[in-house]
Amino acid sequence: SQQGEEDPQALSIQEGENATMNCSYKTSINNLQWYRQNSGRGLVHLILIRSNEREKHSGRLRVTLDTSKKSSSLLITASRAADTASYFCATVSPVIQGAQKLVFGQGTRLTINP
Amino acid sequence: DGGITQSPKYLFRKEGQNVTLSCEQNLNHDAMYWYRQDPGQGLRLIYYSQIVNDFQKGDIAEGYSVSREKKESFPLTVTSAQKNPTAFYLCASSITPRGLSGNTIYFGEGSWLTVV
């Protein structure tokens, strides 16, 4: 079953605007990760946020985590046409036996209009 | 360049045939994974392997098989028992120091499998 649920499923904005995507999950997590996927390509890791962290930044990306609400958000500031892609959140639950089992949501399809 | 190589990029399978998707990594990662992605959907875990000669079923292992005879290789066989195999298949790997978490998972570019 899929743990993360992204909202919205699709988002279309003008270049230069900020884009916010949300992710909700159901069970306790060890960490939450955001990935980007260009159409027909593999996934690229963006940011990992641990369960004891509340906010992380990486360039134009800002991720927040609220474990009390079981939710996370990804903010992309000053969007560019090249940011057009699908964005996925993935959770890792605290059953650690070496390999991580990421559980993915269905993703948000982001379109940046020039 | 270091990374994960999947092949072939596109594969067509006749009904009743087994096909094998290749995944090779030169990142010296211990753990490897196979995910399936259907159009407009997220990824679902098929199989994963923590170490050579060991692998575990994921959430949708039925109709698939894997082997891990070498650290750098984790091929996936889609068998005729998989009733709806048309999908995008992604291989991934990560460093997995035992007892630790939070390592980045790296993905290959994927393989498209279509049943004809």
pLDDT per residue over A10-63, tens digit each? 999 999 999 999 999 988 888 899 999 999 899 999 999 999 999 999 999 999
Q: Is the pLDDT higher at A87 or at B105? A: A87
Task: Render A49-82 in DSSP notation, one character per residue.
Answer: EETT--EEEETTEEEEEETTTTEEEEEE-S--GG
Q: Is B51 on the interface with A (CB under 8 A)?
A: yes
Q: Is A10 on the interface with B (CB under 8 A)?
A: no
Asked whether the predicted pLDDT for residue B98 surpasses 90, the reply is no
Residue A110 has a pLDDT of 97
Residue A99 has a pLDDT of 57
**A94: pLDDT confidence band, cut at 50, 70 and 90?**
low
Asked whether the predicted pLDDT for residue A97 surpasses 60, the reply is no
B115 HSE (CA, 13 A, CB side): 14
Residue B65: its H or E element: strand B64-66
Residue B94 has a pLDDT of 87
Q: Is A33 on the interface with B (CB under 8 A)?
A: yes
- The pLDDT of B8-15, averaged and rounded, is 92
Average pLDDT over all residues of chain A:
90
Contact residues for B78 (Cβ-Cβ < 8 A; gap 6+):
B13, B18, B19, B20, B21, B63, B64, B85, B89, B113
How many residues are recorded in chain A?
Answer: 114
| Alpha-carbon gap, residue A72 to A19, rounded angstroms | 14
Most confidently modeled of A71-85, A90-104, B96-110? A71-85
Average pLDDT over all residues of chain B:
90
Q: Which of A99, A104, A105 comes nearest B31 by C-beta?
A: A99
The verdict on a CB contact (< 8 Å) between B101 and A4 is no
